[in-house]
Amino acid sequence: MSDPAGPDTKLYGGYADWKQWQGDFAASDRHARYFAAELAGIALPGKRVLEIGFGNGSFMAWARQQGANVSGTEIDERMIARAKDKGFDAHGPSLDALVARRLTFDLIAAFDVFEHWSKDELLANLRQLHALLDSGGVLVARFPNGHSPFGRVYQYGDITHATVLSSSSIEQLARMTGFEVQRVENARRVPARRDFWTVLKHHWRRRQRARIEILLGKLYGIGRLPLDPNLTAVLRKAG
């Protein structure tokens, strides 16, 4: 998890073991389908991609398979070493160091990272991420859904989580840091398997969930209310 101001490393003692990270740097079939769905319409071949808090490395592995030039940051030194062993350009958590080197990227991904930052850190780090993106570059971030009671499962299941976020608070942060909001929605879901009945049930549940979200949104007069445990924001640097 990146934090140019300096994370409280005591909280992350044994974190990789608790998360059961092995440093596989491989994307399972379901992970690959999820990343493809979340990044639909974003071309990766030949693009410069940075992942913040790459963890076990599944996204970095998938992005490299798509032909991207991939870099990443992580707070866990063992994972950094493992990433370098696998041939990735891996760095510690300081965004300041990347900005000082005048590096720029076409895409920055931050899966399950924003919730680890305090409000002040979110503001500072988003400004740093904005500086690291090339003109027209895209930031993709997934985080627990503060609008939903189901988001509490992830938000409060990890003592390193510092801030609860929602679609409206992300839009507020984007406005403060120079980003354009392309979408903030339920994180993409993919069925566990590809067989016909599993896919059919998946689509039926998604339609039912959408009806409930629209109904609740009308009830409270706020538009559709996303209820999935996670939200994904796609933010763009103008240019």
Mean of all residue pLDDT scores within the chain: 91
Fold annotation for 9-192+228-237:
Rossmann fold (3.40.50)
Burial class (CB in 10 A: 0-12, 13-18, 19+), 200: exposed
Cα–Cα separations (whole angstroms), residue 198 to 29, 74, 83, 139:
15, 35, 34, 31
Q: Which residue ranges make up each domain of the chain?
A: 9-192+228-237
pLDDT at position 8 is 60
Q: Which of 8-17, 48-57, 93-102, 197-206 has the lowest mean pLDDT?
A: 197-206
Backbone angles phi, psi at 231, to 5 degrees: -110, 155
Predicted local distance difference test score (pLDDT) of residue 191: 80
pLDDT computed for residue 7 by the predictor? 54
| pLDDT tens digits along 94-110 | 999 999 999 999 999 99
Distance separating alpha carbons of residues 158 and 171, to the nearest angstrom: 24
Q: How far apart are CA 93 and CA 236, in angstroms?
A: 22
How far is 63 from 110, CA to CA, in rounded Å? 13
pLDDT value at residue 152: 95
